Amino acid sequence: MNPDRPITLLWSLRSLCDLACPSCYFGDPLIHQIKPPTKVGQLSHISPNDLKRREVLAFVHTLKDSAVGRIFVAGGEPLNWPGILETLKIIKEAGIEVIICTNGIPLTRPVMLQSLLDLGIDAVSVSLDSTDPAFNDWMRPDPKGEHGWQDVVDGTRALLAARAVGGPRVGIYTVITRLNIDQIPAMGRFAADLGVDYYVPQPIALEDDHIHHEQLSLRPEDTSALTDAFAELYTADLPLTLPAGTYPGQVTAGVPGRLPR
């Protein structure tokens, strides 16, 4: 990244998503359909208050001479928004590094896939939570029942096959809950077999009042299993980039309720 543009943004560009992940910090969209959130500032995938297209474009036109050098474009699912390609084009023309954070399903659409390559997107981070399709699709359910684990894998493979030398880096992000700690090394091996460039096991982050907090959030009694799983991952010598060696300790230290040593 350009040292003269040191700012990195994580931009949740849109609220809407085509999945209904219980682990999402936005809250459970299926529940929000029945009981919409009312608190000011409360996140939700069901939001009538997203910025309009013209407002988004007005903002990105201000970035060219800013100190912003990198943007993680996330959601909801950003690649389903009709204005996404125009927005990404303006950001790239401003000389800014772009990393797309996606559930991977839009990568199965050839036009979208080729458009990302044509725009020179710098990296694509794909969310996949398990080597077990059934568990992954429970964690990342499609309410319409149309898409799932296989689509994510197919989309990732399509991107890897289509990119040229110097094309976007591709990585896998896995949300780690207390139910899939064993997937930390397993997904690392799977990501390496896919041929991606990097892998990040990302700890779940839910508020105490989130409806799935009790079921999914990591607890102090999980730290031993976390430590062992990370040790297995980091000693496996996989042909991909992992977070810095200090990362596992940061994850376990951040488990709510864990007493510092």
User: What is the distance between the alpha carbons of residues 66 and 73, in angstroms, rounded to a whole number?
Assistant: 17
What count of Cα atoms within 13 Å lies in the side-chain half-sphere of residue 120?
9
Q: Which has the closest alpha carbon to 172: 126, 237, 120?
A: 126
Output the CA angle 243-160-158, nearest 5 degrees.
130
Bridge partner list, 175: 202
For the chain, helix (H) and strand (E) counts, in that order, are: 10, 6
131-176 confidence digits (pLDDT tens) = 999 999 999 999 899 999 999 999 999 999 999 888 999 999 999 9
Give percent above pLDDT 90 in the chain.
Answer: 74
- Give me the pLDDT at residue 24, please: 75
Q: What is the mean pLDDT of the chain?
A: 91
pTM above 0.75, yes or no: yes
Lowest-pLDDT range, 14-23, 44-53, 68-77, 223-232? Answer: 44-53
- Give me the pLDDT at residue 51, please: 83
**pLDDT range class, residue 62, cuts 50, 70, 90:** very high
More confident site: 19 or 141:
141
Convert 187-223 into a string of H (helix), E (strand) and C (coil): HHHHHHHHCCCEEEEEECCCCCCCCCHHHHCCCHHHH
What's the mean pLDDT in 116-132?
98
